[in-house]
Structure 1
């Protein structure tokens, strides 16, 4: 029995949060446990990125930048990327302005044409409401970075409106199977804009967002995509952040948005398998392989009958642990 969690049912519930079956590139999984936004016009904050140790950094041209500073941010990001030595473990992403702003095209042109080769490694697009939005971004990226048609840029799509939620199935399908220059890999939940659009009010426990959060996870996992949970706005309250991060992990999210470096460690720990889980999973896989060689099917492990779902959970844990450690997934 997986004693650390008290009951078998709760143990299984905890294990499910580490599913890594979310990549359309066989054998590859990039951990995105903490996704941190940094204003694209704040050079001081951008220069601190190499020392933060975050899985994914998002240089922002949208909400984190005032309207009269967007042009500055647009050009400052490529200049800063050319100067920084960001660790390979940190994914470099840029959030452009949404298609409703009429700024997306210029954002993409500058970012894709002025940035050093290979950067940014991914793009984040806010306020995605339809498959047509994804198609439009795909066309722009193909125009400004033709090489992306041979090696598509990973795409993060932020869902932050009721219409985006209703169209999420089509967004996922188009972003995976119909695009050439981008490839949808991540669905991000933009909770504050969503609440504003429905006239809702943000509560401390975010109970008013349970339905939307579960819908985001359901669609993402149905299409083997990663799902990134809502921002915890009070960056000084690390206790509440830890609780909400664990809740998101139990729901099936693979990571969480953060807005301050102090949040990174708490969030990434919540989405990382514990040593007890790694030991349990490794032992289960070894026992499974041993019984397969003996020609035996079902078997017991730590007092419980093992079936395929539990084997999958064990492999998910080991794969995520390997990905975080920089090793190749099995």
Structure 2
């Protein structure tokens, strides 16, 4: 898995020119320039042109730029793909992915549109069929033509289509969240948690960020800039975690431990898998720290 931080992933409506400009300066790790849910039908064409122009203009700094298009089966999807693909965002987010064939079709369309090779695909996991097919959808990443490198949970759509309630702790959908997480990790994918709707309930938001972090998600999608700071804090490794990780790494790097699969560090038994986990945690912490160094 990449050490690139993806703690805070902020949706920005493509129809709002001011929001697109603001996205260049916000402390989010990732911005999703949205052409789908955040845009009314009569504003789709305007949003498409504005997002294409914003991606072409650049200026987003370290922020990963994701463009969420409308579903390819909708009246706007193919036009979105044609307009956005050639501008070369970091990622194109495909909504309503139900099966691996959807990604194969999207990959084919991206190739035909002349999309730069570096542009990846993330899949919105937001339908009952996606939950049932999570493993085969993730496995599509083995086909380079799909460009698949990540999942984004669409918990609001899941609630709508299943009748599951969005309650504290998310017990009705925890099994789906963990199924998608396991599928993503089995195939080396990024996975981002769904949104928190109650903007005024900061305590609830922080609690859900912590739950998603503990589940293993890379970050969380956001609907308001005010959520960025709390999300970044929740998904950033604590200083104590980083210090402990460095001790594990240092212990295994000692010459006398070169052939050992497990050893004791300060009275705790650790294995080489813990050293691997520690290196990733330190890598993320260092990447975050590098971003926070003020520009000269």
Output the TM-score relative to the length of structure 1: 0.83
RMSD after superposition: 1.9
Listed as ranges, the gaps of 5+ residues in structure 2 are 292-296
Deviations 1:117-173 (A, max 9, x none): xx3111101100011110111011101125x3xx24211100111111111211111
Q: 1:269 aligns with which of 233, 236, 240?
A: 233
Segments of 4+ in structure 1 off by > 6 A?
A: none
Q: 2:129 aligns with which of 156, 159, 163?
A: 163
Q: Is this contact kept in 2: 1:47–1:84, CA < 8 A? A: no
Following superposition of structure 1 onto structure 2, how do residues 82-97 of structure 1 map, counting pairs within 5 Å? 82-83=56-57, 85-87=59-61, 89-97=62-70
Q: 1:112 aligns with which of 85, 88, 91?
A: 85
Q: 2:36 aligns with which of 62, 65, 84?
A: 62
Q: CA deviation at 1:80?
A: 2.9
Aligned position for 2:25:
51
Q: CA deviation at 1:261?
A: 0.7
Whole-angstrom CA distance in 1 between matches of 2:60 and 2:93:
19
Tell me the SS of whatever aligns to 1:51: coil
Listed as ranges, the gaps of 5+ residues in structure 1 are 1-21, 23-27
Counterparts in 2 of 1:94 and 1:165: CA distance versus 1, 3 Å: same
Aligned position for 2:249:
285
Following superposition of structure 1 onto structure 2, how do residues 218-237 of structure 1 map, counting pairs within 5 Å? 218-237=182-201
Counterparts in 2 of 1:194 and 1:293: CA distance versus 1, 3 Å: closer
Aligned position for 1:306:
270
Counterparts in 2 of 1:299 and 1:61: CA distance versus 1, 3 Å: same
Counterparts in 2 of 1:73 and 1:315: CA distance versus 1, 3 Å: same
Q: CA deviation at 1:236?
A: 2.2
Q: CA deviation at 1:83?
A: 4.4
Q: CA deviation at 1:282?
A: 0.7
Q: 2:284 aligns with which of 302, 306, 320?
A: 320
Following superposition of structure 1 onto structure 2, how do residues 132-211 of structure 1 map, counting pairs within 5 Å? 132-145=101-114, 148=116, 151-174=117-140, 176-180=141-145, 182-211=146-175
Counterparts in 2 of 1:294 and 1:197: CA distance versus 1, 3 Å: closer
Q: Structure with the greater relative contact order (CA < 8 A, sep ≥ 6): 1 or 2?
A: 1
Whole-angstrom CA distance in 1 between matches of 2:188 and 2:256:
28
Output the TM-score relative to the length of structure 2: 0.92
Whole-angstrom CA distance in 2 between matches of 1:259 and 1:301:
42
Whole-angstrom CA distance in 2 between matches of 1:315 and 1:81:
33
Q: Is this contact kept in 1: 2:90–2:118, CA < 8 A? A: no
Aligned position for 2:100:
131
Aligned position for 2:50:
76
Whole-angstrom CA distance in 1 between matches of 2:171 and 2:262:
40
Counterparts in 2 of 1:301 and 1:77: CA distance versus 1, 3 Å: same
